[in-house]
């Protein structure tokens, strides 16, 4: 399953999107992208909008 499907799962947001949301460049960006990747794999988010809301929740 991983080799055929899951390895292609990636967050819809990228580092540029996170910068626009006000997150400073640095290790925090990678940390958030990793958390978004996990959320995608776990089915907690299914769209870019879901990811934006999740990140906003983390920033509050």
pLDDT in tens, 7-60: 789 999 999 999 999 999 999 999 999 999 999 999 999 999 999 999 999 888
Rounded Cα gap, residues 2 and 56, in angstroms: 29
**Distances 9 to 3, 26, 33 between C-alpha atoms, Å:** 11, 23, 12
User: What's this model's pTM, rounded to 2 decimal places?
Assistant: 0.85
pLDDT given for residue 6 in this prediction: 75
DSSP per-residue string spanning 6-44:
GGG---S--HHHHHHTTPPSSHHHHHHHHHHHHHHHHTS
CA proximity to 54, closest of 9, 16, 7, 17: 17
Q: 32 or 2: whose pLDDT is higher?
A: 32
């Amino acid at each position: 399953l991983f080799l055929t499907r899951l390895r292609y799962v990636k967050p819809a947001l990228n580092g540029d999107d996170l910068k626009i949301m006000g997150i400073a460049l640095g290790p925090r960006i990678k940390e958030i992208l990793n958390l978004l990747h996990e959320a995608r794999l776990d089915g907690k988010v299914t769209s870019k909008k879901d990811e934006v809301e999740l990140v906003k929740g983390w920033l509050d």
